Every structure is written in structure tokens, then in C-alpha cells.
Structure 1
Amino acid sequence: MKEVTAGCYFIAAEAAEADTVVLLHSSQSASSQWRQLMQQLQGKVNLLAVDLLGYGNAPQPEASAHFRLATEVPRVQQALQAANIQTPVIVVGHSYGGALALKLATEGAIAVSKLALYEPVSFHVLPDDSPGMQEIRTVSDAMHGKDATECTRTFVDYWNQPGYFDALPAKIQGLMVRQAAKVALDFDALLNEPLSLKDYARLQQPLLLMTGEFTRRSAQAVVRSLTTVLTNATVKQVPAGHMGPLTHPAEVNPLIIDFIQ
């Protein structure tokens, strides 16, 4: 594995003409969340795993005011350039990374041939008075004014289950707490992204849209909204929650691999 820029990792395929897969992770995570999938795909495709700003070995955002998904875009572009990838890529994204993948493809920021997304949390497509939007705003509001530990506990327990954060090893808890400020920026970006469902309707690429059977209302609402405009989307349900790519890779990864190949 070659680190082409800080926190961006490239593994070349055996065949020169192989496709390239770009992997974008969720909030409170890093490119390492895709380790098992990368092992399964290694040699068959080029792999570019990106630590998004504030996570893993990526730099911190230069500014926090009005942070938006657009701030993440140059990082992906620069990683592709550093890896000398000039052909359209397949983008795999989870949660925050899935929302970023939709933006990249919709705006043509990078050339995308296919998208495989697990619950992209593009909350900005939800009406303000919808139950899904109200639920995620309640979570966001609950994190305001709290210390980093309490913010992290609120976030992690919402996407998993009550008590999940407290049951984690102290080392993992510490890492997550250090990333709490970036999580707040991610929420800001997801809630205030200017793209709309009408914009996403322009997407023509084949798209695999995965969702968890036991996920949260907010994530379910986003998936339902996106399916109304993404005419080339194939929807697959997994017997998991929102963190399915990490908790249930045996169910999620084969769907991604079949779609890629």
C-alpha cells in the first residue's frame, strides 16, 4: 500500500486496464474501515482509500466557519492526481462519505462511472418538518454546548445503540473524542449542502444504494427520498443498522463486490 498524499492510500491492480475504486468512509471513522473490503478486492482493481479531513492521517480543516462538503472535494481530486488516475472511477461511500460521493458525481468534480453507497446521509434533501429531519436535528442540537466526550457519546450511541460508546475500549473512546469537533463540522455540511433532489436527479450512472433493515429514521428517510429521483439506482436492504459496513461486512461487501465486477 502506497501513501500517495497524507492519509490517502493506493494499491495498484495486477492488470493495467483495471478499474479504480475510490473508498470514502463515514464520520468518526477513517479509510481503515474498508480494510476487509480492500483485502477482498486487492489485485482485481486499483484501490484508493481516502482519510477525509480531520480523520485518520488527514490534515485538519483549515477553517471551521461554514464548513461544507465542497471543502472535502479538493482532497479527493488531489488523491486521484497523486495516484495518476485519469479514467472514470467507481466510488464506494458510507454515510458522510456517501453524501460526499453523491456531490462529487453530481457536480462532475471527478469522473465517476458507478456509485456504491451505504446510507448516504444527505440530510439536506429532507423537508424541514419531516420526521427524519426533526430526528437528526434533535441529535445535532443535543450535541451543542456539550463537552467533546458527551458529544461523542450522543453521536455514537445514536448510530449504534444506547451504551455503545461507554462499552468501547478507552483507547477507541479517546480517539473518537479527539475527532468530535470534525463530527460537528460534518453535521453542518450535511444539513446545509446546497444540492437538492432535483440536482441529484441528473445522475445517470449505475448506482447501488444499500440500506440497513435496523437503521435510524433519518437515514431511512434520506434513502427513500433519493430513490424517488435516482432512476438508475438498485436498492438492497441488509440485516444491519447504519454502521453495516463495519458491523456486517460479510453481508455488505459481497453486494459491493458484485456491483463493481
Structure 2
Amino acid sequence: MKTESVGGHPTHTRVLGNGPRPALALHCSLAHGGAWGPMAAELGDALTITAPDLPGHGQSADWPKDGNLHDIATAMAAALALRIGNGAPVDVLGHSFGGTVALRLAMERPDLVRSLTLFEPVMFSAAAADHAPEAAEWVAKQAVFHQLLDDGRPEEAAGYFHSLWGNGTPLDQLPETQRRYITDRIGAIRAAEDVVEQDRLGLMQPGRIEALRLPVLLARGSTSPGVIHAINQALARRIPGAHSVVIDGAAHMLPLSHAAVLAPMLRNHLGLPPRD
């Protein structure tokens, strides 16, 4: 583990596994690179996974107040992909917010990405562009979250957010250090909305995502919020050759909770040898 400037941003990275093939893994909001431990335990014989703490998370520096979280995270991801691939494209895994960064990276820098594995990417704009009813329902839930933040109630906002996206354990039942970590970073959710909800970059404009030409696996849990189903369905329909899987009994944290179930699917998707 080390901290250094990556893409101009002080970034803490972990290297997990010792396989011959390099991969980049981007975690969800309010987590850190160590969240990829369960997947690395399943795939580390075939992959060497570089897992950064995204800006404002873990031991990486916060993003500048005059900067943009999604832009800085994508620049960081591009710099890491270039480094670990030595100029050749690498496999990129992304979960939730990290999945939106991974998707953007593949669209803007296809030369850096060999394959995409997206675990419930929260690209809400994809569901909205598809006119999915779940997208409108999600707007109402987000309004509750925003009101709590606007009212200066970050603990309640964090608890509400965690009830939608967490592992099923209420926030107030988590250890104090974990509760504080989530609450202190809850503003990061709002900081990415210009891309994932408002589509500032036009990533969901007709023809853009359809231009992807690489293997894409979309995975979601069967018990995740309905908007995730709508997002994955929209992306699977628009990305040429994308393969979509649903993990029975899993929720939003499926890369941690169901790594052993997902691993054979990833091996098949990436063309990796079976585990000994």
C-alpha cells in the first residue's frame, strides 16, 4: 500500500492478488479500495488488482472544492490504467459509483480498457434516458436525501442513504468508526450527481454508449433497488454484446457478499483459467 500523486491527485492504492494479468478495481461511494478483498481472494491467482481509494475516500486526499469529483476520479483511473498496463489495455472492474467511473473511462479512453465488469453502476441517467418508471420513483427518494442534507442533518441523511444501499444492517448498529466514516463523507454522493444523474457529459446521448467495442459484464443483485434493474437493463440494451447477470439473494454490496458466486462468471467473462 502506498500514497502518491496519480493523475495529479494524492492517491492511496492497494495491490491485491498476484496473478499475471493486471486489473483496475474502483470501489463504491463511502468505501475504500480494501472493499475488493473478497473478489481478490477469489481471483488473485489470475489477476493482480490495483485498488485505489477514490478521491475523498480512505487515505486518498479530498477533491479540491473548485474541482469535480467525477472528473478527478476518472483522471486518476486513467493514470492508473496506463501505469499498470504499461500502455496496453487492462481489465476494469467498478462497483456502484466506481462503476460509473469505469464506464466513463471506457467511453473516453477505450485504448486503456480491455474489458468492463460493472457491479450495479449507479448511472441513473441511463434509466432516465430509457424513460424507466423506476427512474421517476428514484427521484422522489433522492429528494428525501437532499432535504436531509439541506436541513443540516448529515447523520440522518447518511442513515437514509445506508438503508437504501448498505448491507442490511442499520447505520446506527454499525461500529462507531464505520458510522463516522460514512457520515463524514456523505457529501460525496451529491458531488457526483452532475454526471450520474444530470449527464453533464452527455454520456447517455444516442450513439455514444452504443460505440463501445469491448466485453462488458453487468451484474446486479435480485434484491437491489428497482432503479438498479432499470439501469442495468438500459445499459445491457444499448451496449453491443453486453452480458447481464442477476445474483439471487444478493443486494447492492454483491462484490463483497457474493464474491464466490460471482468469481466463476468473471473468469468466464475475462477468459481466465479455472481456479485450481
Partner Cα separation in structure 1 for residue 170 and residue 26 of structure 2: 24
Q: Which residues in structure 2 correspond to 1:1-261 (within 5 Å)?
A: 1=1, 5=5, 6-10=11-15, 13=18, 18-63=20-65, 67=68, 69-83=70-84, 85-108=86-109, 111-127=112-128, 130-144=132-146, 145-146=150-151, 147-160=153-166, 164-193=170-199, 194-196=202-204, 198=206, 199-239=208-248, 240-260=250-270, 261=272
- Whether contact under 8 Å (2:78, 2:109) holds in the other structure is no
Q: Deviations over 1:36-68 (max 9, x none)?
A: 222333353232112111111111111267x36
Partner Cα separation in structure 1 for residue 60 and residue 168 of structure 2: 30
- Whether contact under 8 Å (1:22, 1:91) holds in the other structure is yes
Partner Cα separation in structure 1 for residue 84 and residue 4 of structure 2: 6
Shift of 1:250: 2.5
TM-score for the superposition, normalised by structure 1:
0.88
Shift of 1:224: 0.9
Across the aligned residues of Structure 1 and Structure 2, the Cα RMSD in angstroms comes to: 2.4
Q: Deviations over 1:152-205 (max 9, x none)?
A: 111110124776212212221111111111122133431122211531111110
- Residue 46 of structure 1 aligns to a residue whose secondary structure is strand
Q: In percent, how many aligned pairs have the same letter? A: 23
- Residue 201 of structure 1 aligns to a residue whose secondary structure is helix
Name whichever of 120-129 and 99-108 sits farther off.
120-129
- Whether contact under 8 Å (1:209, 1:233) holds in the other structure is yes
Q: Deviations over 1:74-94 (max 9, x none)?
A: 111233455463210001111
Shift of 1:234: 1.2
TM-score for the superposition, normalised by structure 2:
0.83
Shift of 1:148: 1.5
Change (3 A) 1:85 1:139: farther
- Whether contact under 8 Å (1:26, 1:96) holds in the other structure is yes
Q: Given residue 50 of structure 1, which amino acid in structure 2 is its aligned partner?
A: P
Partner Cα separation in structure 2 for residue 10 and residue 247 of structure 1: 20
Partner Cα separation in structure 2 for residue 108 and residue 24 of structure 1: 16
Unaligned runs of 5+ in 1: none
Name whichever of 208-217 and 74-83 sits farther off.
74-83
- Whether contact under 8 Å (2:24, 2:80) holds in the other structure is no
Change (3 A) 1:32 1:203: same
- Residue 172 of structure 2 aligns to a residue whose secondary structure is coil
Q: Given residue 183 of structure 2, which amino acid in structure 1 is its aligned partner?
A: V
Partner Cα separation in structure 1 for residue 135 and residue 24 of structure 2: 29
Partner Cα separation in structure 1 for residue 257 and residue 41 of structure 2: 17
Partner Cα separation in structure 2 for residue 92 and residue 163 of structure 1: 25
- Whether contact under 8 Å (1:88, 1:113) holds in the other structure is yes
Q: Given residue 244 of structure 1, which amino acid in structure 2 is its aligned partner?
A: L
Change (3 A) 1:233 1:84: closer
Paired residues, what number? 257
- Residue 126 of structure 1 aligns to a residue whose secondary structure is helix
